[in-house]
Copies of this chain bind each other. A is one copy, B any other.
């Protein structure tokens, strides 16, 4: 089975501190690492660890970060023939301060100077022999192009809706699955008042997807599929870092869909897959194997 993903990729520098310091002070770092990141890129790494063939479509600059981003995908057997390196441009990078124990993070991120992927840069055959497409909507024109191609070929599409942007609702209307962050859910109602996750996910249902889910961090997730709304609790693990947990959730979700599991089993698997990721610093180091995830699920029936 094969999954194509089109979206953002970045290089994350992550460091653990015992507490967030006051401005203009010094704080000793307990541990640090560098890791590839980006919603679609990390989801594909998750799928690749589960044995799925993956191809990534996106952009980097021609800087050291870009080289590391490419290497981080190659090392996980993600096909990067569709990763375009823009000359004289900078890749997206992030500096992420992770608070020990709480999992709270302060994220300093630098937008890439490299221009977004253009529709004409997506190869005509990019969906050949492909069973699923994942997009994050961050490169609008290319995302619409890719989704329309997938619809022509009856390939199911998931939108990873991280935050509200121009075109996001229209894009969601073209997708079979919309798996959104709590931030996106809140922004659906203009970020006002108390957040009603069920109202948000019911509203998302109106976009037309077969299933929609909002992830709620350690409060689990809420899903609507057909007429049914259900909550899935988060699994308790010793959290080192939640970076990439949402991305890995998307990877696990797609895996379950490819296996044609019942939607509740799909979300439960995604939830375990994402929880296990949190045991290590960085978006990818902690991503478990299929066996580890199955063992964990068996132990938590």
Contact = CB atoms under 8 A, between A and B. Distances in A.
Interface of A: 13, 15, 17, 20-29, 31-32, 93, 95, 97, 99, 104-111
A291 to B, nearest CB: 30
A220 to B, nearest CB: 19
A17 B97 contact: no
B105 A97 contact: no
Contacts of A32: 93, 95, 110
Contacts of A111: 28
Given A15-B110, A25-B107, A28-B111, 6 more contacts: A13-B13, A26-B107, A28-B109, A29-B95, A32-B110, A95-B95
14 contacts: A20-B23, A21-B106, A23-B99, A24-B99, A24-B105, A25-B106, A26-B108, A26-B109, A27-B109, A28-B108, A32-B93, A95-B95, A95-B97, A97-B108
A92 to B, nearest CB: 10
Nearest to A163: B26
